[in-house]
């Protein structure tokens, strides 16, 4: 088959009818217009020297706030079914802040692109703190305001994005906002986010929403060796980064092994946390190789790991890596999905891959094409094995502010010149458009 571009259509296996194809972004990473909203913890974090590698902030970012019609036109031309974006809680807290999302949702609907908002993607209002239990209730109130305003045009919702990373990087290690280095004293942050998720599901249901999920990050954990110290460390890492955030939502309980670390009042919250979901979102990038702890500080993927952790992160040898240093292991996506099905069985809702992608330079980004091609094939293998997967979202539509990396890492299908804000579709954009046309 050939497309009207003259290129041969990618030979990706056929996905089921109704499979949801999309791309993802987040508010803080692309919107800009920071002066037109209340401050977030990320605004405070990036104002501190040394927090972001290139010293940048997201005050302007991709200026999506002012350029959203151009970006929606790119989505329409790409041919995606859906666009996953996030709503900035600090913007909603500002006078007229929801008006922007009214305009964005209207533009998406007019272009035939289904809006899929994420209600929290790390940009907590600066006045709030996930260490405080009341933040969960405040989140539910905010969700109600958003859903009542947009629910007549939005029928698919995501409560939280990657609470594991927000807990680990933002509160345990301090490499992301709000920059706290609490190690295991950060566990209340995990619980309060999960409680906020459950309360948000209830708030959404109360407004009539009937298609709700969460976007959790997951990846297989592999021990550095068969030595007991390495396998025990890997098991504990898997507990913290995978099971801690999946099992309360799916099974209504925290995994064994965390009892002595969690506060005693969490049991009464688990019924709320386990409010039934319509689907379960997984953000997948790479597996992790884990070994026994090492003395002193260590570094992994450019991130400093403080002493006192009961594990150490090791490089996966013999595989290619992205320019971020992340290992490229497509078959680990199949492994992850089949493992979820085996672990959770009938309790597991249908899965949507809510993020998958890689960083890389250049407009002729053949490396990204190879990455996405291999991961779509791995995803199809999981489907053939019987895993119920309903959709796939590429991270990301466009290059953007990559958190503590600043603008040094580019994940987009569309190149952004941050000086001029010019958008240039990359080779991967054209490739993904061909994939979508071939799937129709």
Q: Which residue has the tokens 């026994």?
A: 292
Residue 285, annotated ligand binder?
yes
Mean pLDDT for the chain? 96
Helical axes 366-384 vs 427-439, angle rounded to 10° = 30
Residue 161, annotated ligand binder?
yes
- Portion of the chain with pLDDT greater than 90, in percent: 91
Nearest CA to 120 among 27, 31, 221? 27
* Structure confidence at residue 259 (pLDDT): 64
User: What is the tens place of the pLDDT at every residue in 388-406?
Assistant: 999 999 999 999 999 999 9
Q: How many CB atoms lie within 10 A of CB 248?
A: 24
Reply yes or no on whether 232 is catalytic.
no
**How far is Cα 61 from Cα 30, in angstroms, rounded to an integer?**
5
- pLDDT beyond 50 at 70: yes
- The residue annotated as part of the active site, out of 31, 38, 107, 355, is 355
- pLDDT beyond 70 at 9: no
- pLDDT beyond 50 at 281: yes
* Structure confidence at residue 296 (pLDDT): 66
Reply yes or no on whether 267 is catalytic.
no
Model confidence pTM above 0.95: yes
Continuous H helices in 212-255: 228-238, 244-250
Residue 395, annotated ligand binder?
yes
**How far is Cα 232 from Cα 238, in angstroms, rounded to an integer?**
10
- The residue annotated as part of the active site, out of 162, 247, 275, 335, is 162
Residue 356, annotated ligand binder?
no
* Structure confidence at residue 4 (pLDDT): 44
* Structure confidence at residue 73 (pLDDT): 99
Chain CA centroid to CA 230, Å: 28
Average pLDDT rounded to a whole number, residues 405-421: 98
Residue 192, annotated ligand binder?
no
Domains of the chain, residue spans: 20-439
User: What is the tens place of the pLDDT at every residue in 141-170?
Assistant: 999 999 999 999 999 999 999 999 999 999
Answer yes or no: CATH 3.20.20.80 is held by domain 20-439: yes
């Amino acid at each position: 088959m050939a497309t009207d571009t003259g290129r041969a259509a990618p030979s990706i296996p056929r996905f089921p009818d109704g499979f949801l194809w999309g791309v993802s972004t987040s508010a803080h990473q692309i919107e800009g217009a920071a002066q037109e909203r209340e401050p977030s913890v990320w605004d405070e974090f990036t104002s501190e020297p040394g927090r972001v590698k290139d010293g940048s902030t997201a005050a302007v970012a991709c200026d999506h706030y002012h350029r959203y019609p151009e970006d929606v036109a790119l989505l329409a031309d790409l041919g995606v079914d859906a666009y996953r974006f996030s709503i900035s809680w600090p913007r909603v807290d500002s006078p007229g802040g929801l008006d922007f999302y009214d305009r964005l949702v209207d533009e998406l609907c007019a272009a035939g692109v289904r809006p899929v908002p994420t209600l929290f993607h790390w940009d907590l209002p600066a006045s709030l703190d996930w260490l405080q239990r009341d933040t969960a209730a405040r989140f539910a109130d905010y969700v109600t305001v958003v859903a009542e305003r947009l629910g007549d045009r939005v029928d698919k919702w995501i409560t939280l994005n990657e609470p594991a990373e927000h807990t680990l990087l933002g509160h345990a290690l301090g490499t992301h906002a709000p920059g706290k280095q609490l190690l295991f004293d950060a566990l209340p942050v995990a619980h309060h986010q999960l409680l906020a998720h459950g309360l948000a599901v209830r708030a959404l249901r109360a407004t009539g929403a009937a298609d709700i999920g969460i976007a959790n990050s997951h990846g297989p954990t592999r021990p550095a060796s068969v030595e007991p110290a390495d396998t025990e460390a890997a098991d504990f890492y898997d507990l913290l980064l995978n099971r801690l955030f999946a099992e309360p939502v799916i099974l209504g309980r925290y995994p064994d092994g965390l009892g002595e670390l969690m506060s005693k009042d969490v049991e009464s919250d688990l019924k709320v946390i386990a409010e039934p979901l319509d689907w379960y979102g997984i953000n997948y990038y790479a597996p992790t190789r884990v070994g026994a702890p090492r003395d002193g500080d260590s570094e992994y993927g450019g991130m400093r790991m403080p002493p006192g952790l009961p594990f150490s992160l090791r490089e996966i040898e013999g595989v290619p890596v992205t320019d971020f240093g992340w290992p490229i292991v497509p078959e680990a996506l199949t492994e992850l999905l089949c493992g979820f099905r085996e672990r959770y069985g009938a309790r597991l809702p249908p899965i949507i891959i809510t993020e998958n992608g890689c960083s890389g330079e250049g407009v002729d980004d053949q490396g990204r094409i190879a990455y996405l091609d291999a991961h779509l094939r791995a995803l199809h293998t999981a489907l053939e094995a019987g895993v119920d997967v309903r959709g796939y979202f590429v991270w990301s539509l466009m290059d953007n502010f990559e958190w503590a990396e600043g603008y040094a890492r580019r994940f987009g299908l569309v190149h952004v010149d941050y000086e001029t804000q010019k958008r240039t579709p990359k080779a991967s954009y054209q490739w993904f458009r061909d994939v979508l046309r071939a799937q129709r």
